[in-house]
Amino acid sequence: MFTKVKANLTSVISNVLEGMFFTFMEPIGAAACRQRLVGKEFFRIAIVLLHRTQELELTFFFSRRMGGQMASGFLGAEPGELGDDQVQDVLKEAVNMIAGGLVNTCDPEGTMVLGIPELIRSGVPGEELVGEDFSACFDNEGCPFLVCWQERNG
Amino acid sequence: MAFNVLIVDDSMSIRQIIKRVLDISGFDVGTMFEADNGREALDLLEGNWIDVVISDIHMPVMNGIALLEQIKSDELLKSIPVIMVTTEARPTVVEEVRRMGAAGYIKKPFRPEEIRNLLQAVLGVEDVHEGEGESDECDF
């Protein structure tokens, strides 16, 4: 069931981030991505999609700079004017829109249940992420944007 | 005549965006109430005169579908139009909220004129931006 979700992830991310947050992404390889992690901080936000007894957890890592730019563009504020709480709120909404776009695209019958985005941690140092196994990596003006997925059976 | 609007969304950013859309759309808005979830919205509906509710679906504590159900089953509240603004656009969900009595449905991401047009239709007001280009209809 989640195969289609994974296959559509990149296009849905691009649609939402470009259309609503004026943020343009370029898919890059994991190796190139790892080189850009050091010295950066990330917001880690997760959301769960449920299908019967299966669940897919999507975890998104937004760099602090990219998150700040997305939030200022979305709210019409000057960069640096917004606090972390406002940036996190905008990023959770972005994750909500991405996950919503995925279920709209991949599950028109409405068999999947969409969870609520959750901030797992802010200020995650890029150094901590170098060894992670990312499912999708993107570049935004030199800043990496990363996604991991994890499938579980209940 | 000024309208009192209740915006229900667990995202303060979305509440802020909708408030800004209402501000720039030229509606005569009296008070804009805000709630973080359906439960808070019901508390506000009990103590205040609200002309229209604009609600998200996915929220903690009480979601938008449960809120819609409560409003439409309450004799005093059921005439208040409820507009759903949500990432959910699956036909099954759209049909469910229509059947439950929602006045309209807007999918996130949305364009400001979608909210403006639907509010005009729901509240029965004249075009507050006469002379502008046509925009897509977005109600049921």
Q: How confident is the model over A31-84, as pLDDT tens digits?
A: 888 888 889 999 999 999 999 899 999 999 999 999 999 999 899 888 788 999
Q: Exposed/middle/buried for B127, CB within 10 Å: 0-12, 13-18, 19+?
A: exposed
3-state secondary structure of A32: helix
CATH superfamily of the B3-123 domain: Response regulator (3.40.50.2300)
pLDDT bracket for residue B130 (50, 70, 90): low
Query: Which range has the worst mean pLDDT, A16-25, A78-87, A140-149, B126-135?
Result: B126-135
Report percent pLDDT > 70 for chain A: 99
Query: What percentage of chain A reaches a pLDDT higher than 90?
Result: 62
Burial (CB count <10 Å: 0-12, 13-18, 19+), residue A154: exposed
Q: Does A71 touch chain B (CB under 8 A)?
A: yes
> What pLDDT was estimated at residue B139?
46
Partner-chain contact B88 A93, CB within 8 Å: no
Query: Mutate which of B90, B96, B108, B111 to disrupt the A interface (most A C-beta within 10 Å)?
Result: B90
Q: Do residues A25 and A122 touch, judged by C-beta distance below 8 A?
A: no
pLDDT in tens, B40-92: 999 999 999 999 999 999 999 999 999 999 999 999 999 999 999 989 889 99
Give DSSP secondary structure letters for B65-76: HHHHHHHHT-TT
Judge whether B93 is closer than 8 Å to chain A, CB to CB: yes
| B131 has pLDDT over 70 | no
What's the pLDDT band for A154 if we cut at 50, 70, 90?
Answer: low
pLDDT band for position B129 (cuts 50, 70, 90): low
Q: Name the burial class of residue B57, with classes exposed (0-12), middle (13-18) and buried (19+) by CB atoms within 10 angstroms of its CB.
A: buried
Task: Write out the two tokens for A121.
Answer: 């941690």
pLDDT at A91 over 60: yes
Coil/strand/helix, residue A81: coil
Average pLDDT of the segment spanning B113-130: 82
Mean pLDDT over each residue of chain A, to the nearest integer: 91
- Cα distances (Å, whole numbers) of residue B48 to B15, B41, B129: 19, 10, 29
- Ranges of each domain in chain B: 3-123
- Average pLDDT of the segment spanning B98-111: 91
Bridging pattern class, strands A143-153 and A136-140: antiparallel
Q: How far apart are CA A95 and CA A91, in angstroms?
A: 6
- Lookup: tokens for A39: 């010295």
B37 touches chain A (CB under 8 A): no
pLDDT(B127) > 80: no
CA separation for the pair B35, B128 (Å, rounded) = 26
Superfamily (CATH H level) for A3-153: CheC-like (3.40.1550.10)
Question: Domains of chain A: which residue ranges?
Answer: 3-153
Please tell me if residue B78 touches chain A, with a CB cutoff of 8 Å: no
Contact B78/B72 with Cβ under 8 angstroms? yes
Structure token pair of residue A119: 């901030």
pLDDT band, very low/low/confident/very high, at B125 (cuts 50, 70, 90): confident
Q: How confident is the model at residue A20 (pLDDT cuts 50, 70, 90)?
A: confident
User: Three-state DSSP class for A52?
Assistant: coil
The mean-pLDDT minimum among A10-19, A29-38, A50-59, A141-150 falls in A29-38
pLDDT at B138 over 50: no
Strand B52-55 to B82-86 pairing: parallel
Is beta strand B3-8 parallel, antiparallel or unpaired with respect to A112-114? unpaired
- Distance of alpha carbon B58 from alpha carbon B41, whole angstroms: 14
Does the beta-carbon distance from A104 to B90 stay under 8 Å? yes
For B112, which residue in chain A has the nearest alpha carbon?
A20
**Which residue, chain included where needed, has tokens 């609520």?**
A116
Q: What is the pLDDT of residue B135?
A: 42
A18-22, A38-42, A92-96, A102-106: lowest mean pLDDT where? A18-22
**Interchain contact B90–A (C-beta under 8 A):** yes
Q: In chain B, what percentage of residues exceed pLDDT 70?
A: 90
How large is the ipTM?
0.84
pLDDT at B50 (0 to 100) = 97
Cα radius of gyration rounded to whole Å, chain B: 14
Per-residue model confidence (pLDDT) at position A94 = 96
